[in-house]
Structure 1
Amino acid sequence: MRRAVIFDLDGTLVDSAADIQAAVNRMLAEEQRAPLDLAQVTRFIGNGLPRLVERVMAVSDLAPEQHGRLTAVVLAHYNAGGTALTRPYPGVMQALTVLAARGHVLGVCTNKPEGAARAVLTDLGLMPLFQAVVGGDRLAVTKPDPAPLRLCAEELEADEVAFVGDSEVDAATSEAAGVPFLLFTEGYRKGPVEAMPHRAAFADFHGLPGLLLRGEAGEDAAART
């Protein structure tokens, strides 16, 4: 039995909002617009970079026809310093190490452009723990469409999959793919935990391996009855 745990990236494995804000505000400064605060930029995270830039443009009175150019500008600024302020959430490295030692295969499914995602994972020392990374520019669709999550599971050659994320987008992706969802409550979700379908919720990554172990034990017992 090849069991996979697939993770969202921003707001789940890493707190990256400050670096995303910095890239956005560099673009806005170049366009002679006022900067956005961290809370506002954080609310825009979750549906991929093009959608984030679209939301930034809407509140900054920037012409829609500039979307492609400004998306490229924000990405260039982000790639120039994408981990200056980004850090893994406490307990992430320990949890991943425990899961890998237990025989799980690990993947990342994110709406962040794949090159940027891989750069963040590499800079933070997390990349060696993952056997597959699927970014938001790999397919023609992004989460909450289940196709990126399914592709990640295929690349991991997984028999069973659990998905770990922090947002409504991640919950909807899991539901559409028909896989169990574990909700990290300290990320970038927009609404209350109770409003999001999930198998389990956790606020500390040190507890994640235990949650997965209990879930797998229950599934194994059900399979034997």
Structure 2
Amino acid sequence: MSGAVIFDLDGTLVDSAPDICAAAGSVIARHGLEPLTLEQTRSYVGHGAEQFVQRCLAARGVADRPGLKAEVLAGFLDIYESAVSLTVPYPGVVAALGQLAGMGLSLGVCTNKPAAPAHAVLRHLGLDGHFAVVIGGDSLAQRKPDPAPLQAAIAGLGATATVFVGDSEVDAETAQRAGVAFALYTEGYRKAPVSDLPHDAAFDDFADLPGIVQGCLGLNGVA
């Protein structure tokens, strides 16, 4: 068996909401709009940059203003790749990645964040070396919750058994549609109650993840 663990990025491996909030705020301020709160930002993340911008504009009541969405999206993407200074890994992530690699598992990322900003954040935090495959929101024509991006990550790793780790409704649906085990990180950007999301395991501490993966993949005796 070739085992793999594939992670969502924002809200799962890293808390990037402060950077996203600052980037979006600077762009919409050019159009005389009030900046987002951090809470709003977290609630809008998950469906990719285009949907994020759409939600920002809808919250300010200007989603139908001609040409505004395209202009704001272009401005947001222009600074998004370098918006990394406020992003931090969640506690225990680095140690968990090392343990999973030590178990002989391949690691990947499947995110709706565009690929360039995803790679930039991973490089900035020194996490890029852990992942053999990174699938971004613009890597394929489809985005999560379509299962195609996760299936592409699985194929890229050559995995025959996979656990997908995510924090949201989008991630839960993606795993379900791809037919893979899902481990739900409960401290990310999830909006619905944990009980409403299909999952094989839920955790709030990354120290628990290696054991969860071991159970999901049936790796008896592996520590």
Alignment TM class, shorter chain as reference? over 0.9
What's the TM-score once normalised by structure 1's chain length? 0.94
Secondary structure at the counterpart of residue 20 of structure 2: helix
1:64 positional shift: 5.0
Match of 2:57 in 1: 57
Match of 2:77 in 1: 75
List 4+ stretches of structure 1 deviating above 6 A. Answer: none
Secondary structure at the counterpart of residue 99 of structure 1: helix
Which has a greater percent of helix?
1
CA deviation map 1:61-103 (0-9, x unaligned): 33153222211111122223x2111000000000000101110
1:41 positional shift: 1.3
Deviates more, 1:32-41 or 1:188-197: 32-41
Q: How many residues align?
A: 218
What's the TM-score once normalised by structure 2's chain length? 0.95
Match of 1:198 in 2: 199
Match of 2:148 in 1: 147
Matched, 1:172 2:173: yes
Equivalence map 1:1-225=2 (5 Å): 1-62=1-62, 63=65, 65-80=67-82, 82-217=83-218
Please tell me whether the aligned partners of residues 57 and 64 of structure 1 are also in contact (alpha carbons under 8 angstroms). Answer: no
Taking the aligned partners of 2:170 and 2:112, their CA distance within structure 1 comes to: 10
1:215 positional shift: 2.3
CA RMSD of aligned residues (A): 1.2
Taking the aligned partners of 2:216 and 2:22, their CA distance within structure 1 comes to: 39
1:30 positional shift: 0.9
Identity between Structure 1 and Structure 2 (%): 50
Taking the aligned partners of 1:49 and 1:186, their CA distance within structure 2 comes to: 22
Secondary structure at the counterpart of residue 81 of structure 2: helix
Taking the aligned partners of 2:93 and 2:102, their CA distance within structure 1 comes to: 14
Taking the aligned partners of 2:216 and 2:113, their CA distance within structure 1 comes to: 29
Stretches of structure 2 that go unaligned for 5 or more consecutive residues are none
